[in-house]
Amino acid sequence: MKSDILNKLVQVSVGLVVIFLMTLIANASWIPPSQPPPNANVSQPLNVSGTTQTKTGKLNFTWFEDQDQPGYYVDPGSNSWLYRLYSYDIRSDIFYDRNNTGYYVDPNAATAANLAGGINIDGNTVIDDGAGWHRTYGQTGWYNGTYGGGWFMEDTTWLRAYNNKGVYTGGQMRADAGFCIGGSCLTSWPTSPSETDPVFIASKGANVYACPLIVPGYCYFSWTGCNGQYGNSTICYVNDCGAVYTSSCSYVGRLVN
């Protein structure tokens, strides 16, 4: 009786040992799933330890979050928040200012930016990089978008007013080579009348009259009140051999200096 019980205990113990060994062998020889779960196999566990692990296929996540600072995260389908991003190549249709989305850069369309520090553009330079010149190219120049005027060049000779605008200054206009009005050009001012001209002196800024001609064969030998054939008096005097007569002068015009 005792020997039967002992034999059964031995058999049970041997069976348990065999089951335990078989379990260890099965775990050691586990093969990765040949089909994606859940159709055929249980999902393979992801090793998060320091041991290197190689997986094939995809990792599907809706959210990546920083372990130490959960305020930093990546959501591929929505907004993400990163402290700093380093990348060899970043491509985007538009770049917005984080604090004010009214400022943005769109490389392929309009851009709105607050460039208080200035901007340098190389290539066909609009404003020289450090030289201070405002440069334009071709038949272009400076244009005022409000009033429609400006300056431009279309050849190597003339600086032109855009839309034929006039030029106004409270200072001086100077051209050492001359001024042209239409086809009439002057390289110097017209010569002023001489200050020694008696007509100029006596009639400066006044009306000018012509005295009657002296008739040959008479005693009319002098005119007083007229300078030659011109004067500034409406009456001329003639001495007729002692008798003095008067004669009216005809108006010619006004002398302007």
For 23-62, write each residue's pLDDT tens digit. Answer: 766 665 556 656 665 566 666 666 667 777 777 777 777 8
Summarised one tens digit per residue, pLDDT across range 150-163 is 999 999 999 999 99
Secondary structure of residue 137 in the 3-state scheme: coil
Summarised one tens digit per residue, pLDDT across range 68-92 is 888 888 888 888 888 888 888 888 8
Q: How many CB atoms lie within 10 A of CB 238?
A: 22
pLDDT for 29? 56
What is this structure's pTM?
A: 0.37
Round to whole Å and give the CA distance between 195 and 257: 10
Round to whole Å and give the CA distance between 133 and 222: 74
Q: How many CB atoms lie within 10 A of CB 66?
A: 13
pLDDT for 68? 87
Band the pLDDT of 220: cuts 50, 70, 90: very low
Band the pLDDT of 232: cuts 50, 70, 90: very low
Residue bearing the bigger pLDDT, 250 or 16: 16
Residue bearing the bigger pLDDT, 67 or 19: 67
Q: How many CB atoms lie within 10 A of CB 18?
A: 10
Mean pLDDT over 62-67 rounds to 85
